[in-house]
Amino acid sequence: MSKKNSNLTVEQKLVMFEDGTEPPGSSELNNEKREGSYHCANCDVKLFDSKTKYESGSGWPSFYQSLPDVFETKTDHLIGYARTEYHCKNCNAHHGHIFDDGPLPTGKRYCNNGVCLVFKETK
């Protein structure tokens, strides 16, 4: 069962719980370079460390590694072929898809919708 935060925007609800996606290049987090962490916009669980963020050229915030045990995955066929979707293990909010074209050391690209994330700077 999904636990929806009542403070989410319409766009966040669409992406996180209704199989939507944000337009590429639309997230301010694409250009975020500060040290910190990225949290689920729905439940505030810490998902990524800024050290694993990189510029993938995809138009979405991308990471080569998540924090341990924060996501569950499933296969979706929404665009006509199989992709690995990942969602927050705590609240079941959809975040994006994992691809095998990322940098070392993992070779993974967690392609995340920016509206699903909250950045918290390390002070």
Q: 4 vs 8, 19, 31, CA distance in Å?
A: 8, 14, 27
Q: Which of 63, 90, 86 is nearest to 74 (CA)?
A: 86
Q: Is 88 a catalytic residue?
A: no
Residue tagged active-site, from 40, 88, 91, 111: 111
Peptide bond into 105 cis (omega under 30): yes
C-alpha torsion angle, residues 47, 82, 91, 48 (rounded to 10): 0
Give the residue numbers annotated as catalytic, written as ranges. Answer: 111
